[in-house]
Structure 1
């Protein structure tokens, strides 16, 4: 049996791979867009705090 994880988040990928049971990581455009949007929101929040 092969174990795949389906994510675009690097922290989730690192954690799952640290378990030693993950064979592959897959993703799709929707998950990538969600991850990018979350990063943009976080960076905008950090930028606003720095002003």
Structure 2
């Protein structure tokens, strides 16, 4: 089983990166984070 984190919050990704197999996100999550979609994807 693989575990993915569904977020646009970079702080959450950094916190859980050692426990997960990957990250998913979508425009709705990016909008909730208040950041630019391209900026989040680049980071």
TM-score (norm 2): 0.72
Query: Is 1:10 the equivalent of 2:29?
Result: no
Structure 2: which 5+ residue stretches go unaligned?
36-43
Q: Deviations over 1:17-37 (max 9, x none)?
A: 1xx220010001100011126
User: Which protein has the bigger helix share?
Assistant: 1
1:15 is displaced (CA, Å) by 0.2
Alignment of 1:21-36 (within 5 A): 21-36=19-34
Which has the larger Rg?
1
How many residue pairs match? The answer is 35
Deviation at 1:14, TM superposition (A): 0.3
Runs of 4+ in 1 over 6 A off after TM superposition: none
- Alignment match, 2:39: none
